Amino acid sequence: MPAQKPPKAIRSEREGEPELEEHLEVFIAGLGETVDFLQDAEAANDPARLRIQALELADTARELGYPALAEMARHVAISCDEGNPDARHKAVRDLTELSQRVRRGHRASA
């Protein structure tokens, strides 16, 4: 069985804009911790906190040129309103995987 290729890395649509360079660096450096906070809120069954944190991530990701990450974070927030813990867990898991692709894409651009 051939080895499966890792999912494609995601780069910022705003990469190369000098005024955003530092903001992108800070965002990427903190993305792992941000996702950890989201996972902690989900594990604690705290959809209110999860929703707020996911919307904050969505806004920042959109501003910095990561529309797919912003959309996924919005999906996490919506899952908090639906009251389905399994859907919430899947949304956080999908966001975690997507964030890894974003971090990989940023490293590749360095």
- 49-98 pLDDT tens trace: 999 999 999 999 999 999 999 999 999 999 999 989 999 999 999 999 99
In a domain? residue 38: yes
In a domain? residue 7: no
In a domain? residue 87: yes
CB atoms within 10 A of CB 47: 21
In a domain? residue 4: no
Kindly indicate the confidence band of residue 106, based on its pLDDT and cuts at 50, 70 and 90: confident
* Mean pLDDT, rounded, for 41-48: 96
Beta carbons of 51 and 41 less than 8 angstroms apart: no
Encoded tokens for 17: 């804009």
What's the whole-number average pLDDT of the chain?
92
What is the number of domains present in the chain?
1
Q: What is residue 109's predicted lDDT score, i.e. its pLDDT?
A: 56
In a domain? residue 99: yes
State which residues form the domain around 81.
32-109
